[in-house]
Amino acid sequence: MKQYWSSSKFADWLRGTPKPLAGTAEEWRDWEMKAKKKKYRYWLAEEGLDYLEEFVYWPANRVNDVRCYINNRWITRSHSLTSNLKRGRWYDLDTRLLHAVFDELVNFVEIELAWKLVVCSEEDRKKYKTPWYRMFLRMGRWRSPEAGLAYLQWASDLKADEDWLDKNDPGYGQPTHQALAAQEIVKLYTWWKVDRPKRPAPGDFSGWNKYCEENRKNASNADSFEFISTKMIKDKRSDHILNLYHQMEKEHEDEDTAMLIRLIKIRQSLWT
């Protein structure tokens, strides 16, 4: 991780007030008030060093801008939503919407959150076997479902402690907003990757596919398609099977819609 000059030990010496590595909002306000008492030294450390650093690194920063553009435009394609639907087939917009957003949720967990877990931890990079070029070039799409879920497990366990709330507050010790969002992401991710693919197909579960196949086999060569279809429509057995088929199809559609709405409701938590 890059350390800005204004956060260096030299800046602490120049400022005359060491900058904390971390702290609460109140601690940061106290530090800033104390540091600004030496206003010229504070400006040199916080503003002057930033200007100097920007000047020195101007060529490297422009190269990095090009690298970021190439990565965002052609590799991660962060401007678009993509799905894993099979190429070369026609899909209506309702299908494209569902698959695009949930496939991107999978990418968010397995790529973005996985990277967020390992980027600051050499131990995690070794554990999840992060390729060296991903750290060196900072380009590409390294994927690790395990690392992404490990990050979500950590986030799911976050509780509101004394850094956030007074111990007498009703919310003290309760899951944070980040934890609740992480728990919901895990549920949606698991539903799309594990539960939904296991749903029985309406045609198979209702017996409609088997029924249609039986009628095709029993039909004589002289029977026309229209004759077979009319015969099936008048069959009471087909009514029962079709009702079951349409009922299951509606249940699947309703479930897809409900899960899609749940995903949209947490969209503001889908960032890194």
Give the Cα separation of 201 and 207 in Å (integer): 10
Give the Cα separation of 235 and 209 in Å (integer): 15
pLDDT computed for residue 138 by the predictor: 79
pLDDT computed for residue 209 by the predictor: 86
pLDDT computed for residue 222 by the predictor: 47
Between helices 93-107 and 236-265, what is the axis angle to 10°? 50
Positive or negative: CA dihedral 78, 83, 84, 90: negative
pLDDT per residue rounded down to tens, the chain (272 residues): 568 999 999 999 999 999 998 888 889 999 999 999 999 999 999 999 999 999 999 999 999 999 999 999 999 899 999 999 999 999 999 999 999 999 999 999 999 999 999 998 999 999 999 998 888 887 888 999 999 999 999 999 999 988 788 888 899 999 999 999 999 999 999 999 999 999 999 989 888 888 888 777 766 554 555 555 555 555 777 888 888 989 999 999 999 999 999 999 999 999 99
pLDDT computed for residue 141 by the predictor: 87
**In a 10 Å sphere around its CB, with 0-12 CB exposed, 13-18 middle and 19+ buried, how is residue 149 labelled?**
buried
Task: Give the predicted TM-score (pTM) of the model.
Answer: 0.83
pLDDT computed for residue 216 by the predictor: 75
Q: Angle at CA 33, nearest 5°, toward 31 and 38?
A: 100
Residue in the block written with tokens 């992060």: 130
